[in-house]
Amino acid sequence: MSLEDRGTALVDPSLWFEPGCCRGPHYLRFNPHDRDPGRMGAWCPTLRRSLTVRKDEIERCSPEALYWIRGFLYGAEREPPVDEYDGGPLEDGDPRLERWRAAVREFDETGTWTDPEEHVANGA
């Protein structure tokens, strides 16, 4: 595995993916620290510029890219809710903790973070 200049940015060629909106291989590269925690930084050799992409916008990717994405999303999971009185962890079985766990599962699957308490507001 080596770094190559594919455009003007150094990319790891094993981290290729194809988004639905642009042809050809693109390359995962960095954490853009976007407000949307599931957005990953990448390089588009066709347009010769950086872009951000979410997991559900990727149509195909290498096995290496898939593991890069999994690790990125695990690392970007939001912290669990805490007890409002002592700031400590919630007990197992607390509905707020269960809603957070559901949001984490959805995030790891889709790359989209939904506030756990919004699930309640939407009746989900």
Neighbours of 18 (CB within 10 A): 15
In the window 11-40, what residues touch Zn ion (CB under 5 A)? 22
Nearer to Zn ion, 44 or 69 (CB): 44
Strand partners, 17: 26, 61
Nearer to Zn ion, 22 or 82 (CB): 22
Q: Is position 53 an interface residue for Zn ion (rule: CB under 5 A)?
A: no
Scanning 30-38, 44-52, 86-94, 105-113 for contacts with Zn ion by CB under 5 A, the matching segment is: 44-52
Helices 95-110 and 63-76, axial angle in degrees (round to 10): 150
Joined tokens for residue 107: 């995030």
Q: Is position 61 an interface residue for Zn ion (rule: CB under 5 A)?
A: no
Residues whose CB is less than 8 angstroms from the CB of residue 84 and which lie 6 or more positions away in sequence, other chains included: none
Q: Is position 44 an interface residue for Zn ion (rule: CB under 5 A)?
A: yes
The residues that touch Zn ion, with contacts defined as CB under 5 A, are 22, 44, 46
